A and B are shown apart, each in its own frame.
Chain A
Amino acid sequence: MTRGRAALLIAAFPLLTGGLAQAQAPRSSAEGVALLRKIYQATGKLSYTGTFVYQQGDRSETSRITRVAVDDVEKLEVLDGMPREIVRTRDTIRCYLPESQTVKVDRRTDTGAFPAVLPERISDLAKNYVITRAEPARVGGYDCDTVVLTPADDLRYGYKLWADVGTGMLLKARTFNRKGETVEQFTFTQLTIGNVPRDRVKSRHAARSWRVEDAAVAPANLAQSGWTVSRELPGFRKVMEVTRRLGESRPVGQMVYSDGLAAVSVFIEPMAGRAEAVRPGPSSLGAFHIYTREVANHIVTVVGEAPAASVQRIADTVEFRKPQ
């Protein structure tokens, strides 16, 4: 096609401007924001016990979850496949793996994650997502209101949330990509909201002689060691920077970037002494996209609940400058 032909098309389609020029950008609605706020508050203050199904790809798993609000303790028990159980208290998360007799211990960090204050968190979300109400529906025996978070760009996924009209408890959550396809979905099939006996959130495992893998999380300043992410993804801010241990004893640095709902972690570890081969490039594990790179004799692994391109973009901007 020559320029002449292109110019002819230009002349023939003057109305194309209509769709692009000054198109009213969709805006969050007050009702949408109010419902989202109600959901966050419910998650923080309710006790409940129920069964939910997690679907991702062609995988489907059923789990039981119980929360005691007054102690802020929660237990998740996966009922399909390999038995595992996770108990979260105010400060720690313990993952029990009975088949390998291992407990993985980690520090609970989301309570310190930004922005801790709900109104700030929601106004940050409104910058990256358009928050609107959708039609009510019935889920797990509850009448639910729904709210949709439509991403403002292609760097993140969208979400639809179903919440009990009465309490705001989240009954169902769906993550979707730019084509509208479901990336993952959580659905309660049975739920009882209200006080729960404390023993229901205790691990069933005594785990006294089990191997303990403690993540030994400590705040860190990786820039001091020469590491930076030279260009942050629009809408994502650094919210955490620590050193920790992976697996049994591998020390790594971790930076977490978040837009308020999605998060991407950048892990940096030295290449020396690594037994396994490094496979640079994009990969995925379940709903997570992963990107691996070698930089300055280190391995950079970026993991995120975001489209593959976003994970890769962050990975590509990790830089090392030897500190003076």
Chain B
Amino acid sequence: MKEQISALMDGELERAQSAAPLEALRDAGEAREAWRTYHLIGDAMRETRMVSGSFTARVAAALAAEPTVMAPVAVIPEPRPAAAARQWPALSIAASVAAFALVVGAVFVSQKDAVQAPQVANAPKPPVELIRETAQVAPPDTAHDYVLAHQGSSPRNSLQGMVPYVRLVSDQSRPAKP
């Protein structure tokens, strides 16, 4: 029955096959529990507004610690015209454990501790800032001017005096003498 509930949520059941699970959902019971849990999992995978700041780091660490050859086997359903976009991507063990922790964490983290974290995309693709930096472009030609202008208002100056000013000049390579 749980498999049927799962398939029902994904819109993968033909009308005839849906009757049984729909019937089961009418009564409070195992089927409804499964429905609730699966939705919670799905929501948790898609939205992480209540995740603590270090959580994404721990997910990343867990994902990074996965054994190699973890190219996820994407469970891509056969294209169906009626299929909703509710993909259920293959989950590595760490990610599904993390998903569980997310679900529970969402229940327990109090609102005031919550830090607005960037959206966690569907696992296993980590958010942009976690592991791989997006490809960098060359800095602007006048980057030194920006940095010099910025340095003047840095609060580091109150902590360290002028010491941080070395940063803005440290990148200027010596122009070649003719």
Please list the residues of chain A having a beta carbon within 8 angstroms of any beta carbon in chain B. 1-7, 9-10, 13, 16-17, 19-22, 25, 39-40, 43-44, 52, 54, 56, 59, 61, 63, 65, 67, 74-76, 78, 81-82, 84, 86, 88, 93, 95, 99-100, 104, 106-110, 113, 121, 152-154, 161, 170, 173, 178, 184, 186, 215, 234, 239-240, 244, 246-247, 250, 252, 254, 256, 258, 260-263, 265, 267, 276, 278-288, 290, 292, 301, 303-305, 307-309, 313
Contact = CB atoms under 8 A, between A and B. Distances in A.
A282 B137 contact: yes
A265 B150 contact: yes
A67 to B, nearest CB: 6
A316 B37 CA distance: 36
B136 A284 contact: yes
A13 B97 contact: yes
A21 B113 CA distance: 11
Contact of B162 (A25, A88, A239): A88
A260 B158 CA distance: 10
Nearest to B105: A20
Most chain B CB inside 10 Å of its own CB: which residue of A39, A84, A286: A286
B105 A21 contact: yes
A17 B108 contact: yes
A109 to B, nearest CB: 5
Contacts of A288: 147, 150, 167
Interface in B134-153: 134-150, 152-153
B52 interface: yes
Interface string B158-169: 111111111111
Interface of B: 2-3, 6, 9, 34, 37-38, 41, 52-57, 75, 88, 90-93, 96-97, 99-101, 103-105, 107-109, 113, 115-118, 128-129, 133-150, 152-175
- The 8 lowest CB-CB distance pairs between A and B, nearest first, are A309-B129, A21-B108, A153-B53, A20-B105, A265-B150, A283-B139, A246-B145, A281-B137
B115 A153 contact: yes
B165 A86 contact: yes
B140 A108 contact: no
Contact of B174 (A2, A81, A154, A276): A81
Contacts of B38: 3, 7
23 contacts: A2-B6, A2-B88, A3-B2, A6-B96, A7-B2, A17-B104, A20-B101, A21-B108, A65-B161, A76-B162, A76-B166, A81-B174, A84-B172, A88-B165, A99-B174, A106-B148, A234-B115, A250-B142, A254-B149, A262-B155, A286-B168, A288-B147, A309-B118
B85 to A, nearest CB: 17
Given A13-B97, A284-B136, A39 B166 contact: no
A74 to B, nearest CB: 5
Given A110-B157, A246-B149, A313-B118, 5 more contacts: A54-B167, A154-B129, A186-B163, A267-B146, A290-B146
A247 B128 contact: no
B153 A110 contact: yes
B111 to A, nearest CB: 13
B126 to A, nearest CB: 12
Contacts of B105: 20-21
Looking at B115, B138, B162, B166, the one whose CB has the most chain A CB atoms below 10 A away is B166
A106 B152 contact: yes
B149 A265 contact: yes
Contacts of B138: 279, 283
